[in-house]
Amino acid sequence: SYLNPDKDKVDDIKSVALAFSRWLPDVFAEVLQDNKSTKLNLKRICFVLTKADLWAHLYDLGDTAQSSVNNRDAYVHAKEILGGLFFNSIRQFFNEDTQFAFCMSSVFGFQNGRVNNLFLENMDKHVDDNDQIEISVNEWQPYNVIEPFIFLLNGDNIDNRIKEITWKQMGS
State how far the Cα of 88 lies from the Cα of 46, in Å rounded to an integer.
15
Q: Is the pLDDT of residue 148 over 90?
A: yes
**pTM for the predicted model, two decimal places:** 0.81
Cβ atoms 144, 103 nearer than 8 A: yes
pLDDT digit string, tens, across residues 96-117: 999 999 999 998 899 899 998 7
Q: Is the pLDDT of residue 10 over 90?
A: no
Q: Is the pLDDT of residue 6 over 70?
A: no
Give the model's pLDDT for residue 25: 76
What is the percent of the chain where pLDDT is above 70?
78
Q: Band of the pLDDT at 163, cuts 50, 70, 90?
A: very high
Contacts of 159 (CB under 8 A, 6+ apart): 147
What is the average pLDDT value for the chain, to the nearest integer?
A: 83
Question: What SS3 class is residue 2?
Answer: coil
Give the model's pLDDT for residue 41: 85
Contacts of 51 (CB under 8 A, 6+ apart): 1, 105, 106
Laid out side by side, the sheet with 99-104 consists of 44-49, 99-104, 163-165
Give the model's pLDDT for residue 124: 59
Q: Is the pLDDT of residue 143 over 60?
A: yes
Cβ atoms 70, 160 nearer than 8 A: no
111 forms beta bridges with 114
